[in-house]
Amino acid sequence: MYISFQNAVFSAVFCGLTTHLLFNKFEDRHLTLLSRLLVVLPLIPAALFLSHCTSSFSALCVAYAICYITLLTSIACYRLSPFHPLSKYPGPILARLSKWWSIYQTYTGKTHTTYLELHRKYGRIVRTGPNEVSICDISAIQPVLGADGLPKGPIWEGRRSQNTSYYALIGVRETAEHLQRRKIWNKAFNTSHVKAYEPILRARLDQLVTTLQSKGDSSTPIDLAEWFSFFAYDFMADMSFGGGFELMSEGDVHGAWKILEDGLRVQAFTQHLPWAAPFFYRLPGMAVSAAKLRAFIGRIAKTRVERKAALMGEDLSSHLLGENDSSREAPPFTQYVPDAFLAVVAGSDTTATVLSSIFFYLLSEQTILEGLRNEIDDAFPPNQPRRPMDDISQLATLPLLNAIINETLRLQPPVPTGIQRTPVAGSGGRAIGSIFVPEGTAINIPPYALHRDERYFSPDPDRFLPGRWLVENDNSRVQMQTEPAAFIPFSSGPMNCVGKPVAQMELRVVVATLVQQLEMRLAPMWERDNWERGLEDFFVFKKGKLPVLLRERAF
pLDDT value of residue 521 = 93
Q: What is the pLDDT of residue 326?
A: 74
pLDDT at 341 over 90: no
| The pLDDT value given to residue 52 | 83
Write the pLDDT tens digit of every residue in 382-398. 888 888 888 899 999 99
Per-position DSSP letters for 16-71, written without gaps between them: HHHHHHHHHHHTTT-HHHHHHHHHHTTHHHHHHTGGGSSSHHHHHHHHHHHHHHHH
Q: Are strands 518-522 and 547-552 parallel, antiparallel or unpaired?
A: antiparallel
- In this prediction, residue 30 carries a pLDDT of 63
- Give the pLDDT score at 54: 83
Distance CA(261)–CA(282), nearest Å, equals 18
CATH of domain 167-414+489-552: 1.10.630.10
Alpha helices in 365-452 (DSSP H): 366-379, 392-395, 399-411, 447-450
- Banded model confidence at residue 218, pLDDT cuts 50, 70, 90: low
Q: Which span out of 35-39, 160-164, 436-440, 465-469 was modeled with the highest average pLDDT?
A: 465-469
User: Given a cut of 70, is residue 541 above it in pLDDT?
Assistant: yes
pLDDT of residue 478: 54
**pLDDT tens digits, one per residue of 55-114:** 888 888 988 899 999 989 999 999 999 999 999 999 999 999 999 999 999 999 999 999
Mean pLDDT, rounded, of the chain = 88
Confidence of residue 6 (pLDDT cuts 50, 70, 90): confident
* Half-sphere exposure (Cβ direction) of 222: Cα atoms closer than 13 Å: 17
pLDDT-derived band of residue 515, with 50, 70 and 90 as boundaries? very high
More confident residue, 35 or 339: 339
Residue 246 class from Cβ within 10 Å (0-12 exposed, 13-18 middle, 19+ buried)?
A: middle
pLDDT attached to residue 437: 92
Residue 315: the pLDDT is 85
- The predicted-structure confidence for 143-166, as pLDDT tens digits, reads as follows 999 998 999 998 988 887 665 667
CA-closest candidate to residue 451, choices 11, 116, 64: 116
Is 60 exceeded by the pLDDT of residue 283?
Answer: yes
Would you state the pLDDT for residue 164? 64
Please state the residue numbers annotated as binding site.
497
Looking at residue 470, what DSSP letter applies?
S
Question: Taking the CB of residue 177, how many other CB atoms lie within 10 A of it?
Answer: 13
Q: What is the pLDDT of residue 269?
A: 87
Task: Assign 3-state DSSP to the chain and report helix, strand, coil percentages, each to 5.
Answer: 60, 10, 30
CA distance 163 to 461: 43
Instruction: Enumerate the known binding-site residues for heme.
Output: 497
Three-state secondary-structure class, residue 298: helix
